[in-house]
Amino acid sequence: MGRGGGRIYRRCWTDALGKTHKVLNYTAEYQFAGRQFRESCGTADRQQALSFLQQRLEARKAGRVVKNLKVTLRALRDVLTAHYRTQGHRSTDRMVREFELHLEPFFEPGCLVRDITRQRVQEYVQTRLAAGASRSSVKLSVSYLNSAFGAGVEAEILSVYPGFALPKGSAPRATFFEPEEFERLLAAMANELKPLVGFLYLTGFRSTEARLLCWRNCNFEREEIRLEASETKSGEPKIFPFKYAPQLKEILLECWRRRDGGDYVFGWAGTAHGKSALNYGWNKACKASGNVGKTPHSLRRSACRNLIRVGIGETTVMRLMSWKSATVFRNYLIQDDTDLQEAVKRRFNKLITTQRPESVDNASVSGD
């Protein structure tokens, strides 16, 4: 068998009398990624067996599955789900919903993974986009499909990771609040949500982190908020000092004075504010204050922008916002015309003040 090639042959077996026999059907043998594979061609016809081998070799080169031909999309999803839960991924439920709502209805749960080709995935992408799905949502869906194939290879039920091309994602949202816009929003917000919304604007916490913030996370002696690794999206501890943040400290103290015995800083009757309650109050206040189209996540972008505006370095901002990747930081680094004008103003004002006027030679002025 040549390097990277394959062959067909008929297996032999020996009976009790020592006589050698050949099986009826041909067996295909080929290599991939340094490993050798064998499978029955399912036919006694030599030409059909050669055609079968050629299909396997072409499938291997095209990145299609060439090992276990009976693995279904549902089985692959189960493998990925088990992998996610073992690794402690917090997006497991979201991944399962993506399969149930989009991937499985298109490909069908019983679809064999060998039939999920690059062409079929491109058809899936085009169908989702034509139905009005955002490019980011479709990109996430295809990335889950890639992860499922990767988990299949790791579990040794597949031999090929096809690596489906991800569609280009949507441009990062650029909604944020100027101080006067936020003041209008806060004035229109329901009283029970004002502390939470103010906290989000000042800290840039993710809304879930803030809604589920407990008093045990607030250390008034050290004057800092601390979230454990299990409580953050990044999986790393998060610290936000409030010693020199009087507005933030006042919000926390006011919530402490009004606490009703519950564990949550921002809650009602001992329970945390629900996501739906926040969204309802948010949409109502945005409509009343002229901020339609903005989301609670806009407060996180605003907090990042406010830190950058006062000269905080990238590394420190990333730690306060609990970002691991500089790419994510750049997605939140929103600048408008005002920022550009201010940058030019500071640059050239500094240049003018540092330039010294040319000295005048009095003797030359007096002349003859």
Number of Cβ within 10 Å of residue 159's Cβ equals 16
* Rg value, the chain, Cα: 31
pLDDT in tens, 200-244: 999 999 999 999 999 999 999 999 999 998 888 888 899 999 999
User: What is the average pLDDT score of the chain?
Assistant: 83
Q: Give burial (CB, 10 Å; 0-12/13-18/19+) of 231.
A: middle
pTM, to two decimals: 0.62
CA separation for the pair 20, 263 (Å, rounded): 78
In the block, tokens 């989702």 appear at: 128
Segment-wise mean pLDDT, segments of 10 residues, the chain, 368 residues: 69 82 85 68 87 78 58 91 88 93 91 86 93 90 93 80 79 79 96 96 94 95 92 87 94 91 86 93 95 92 89 88 80 64 68 48 41
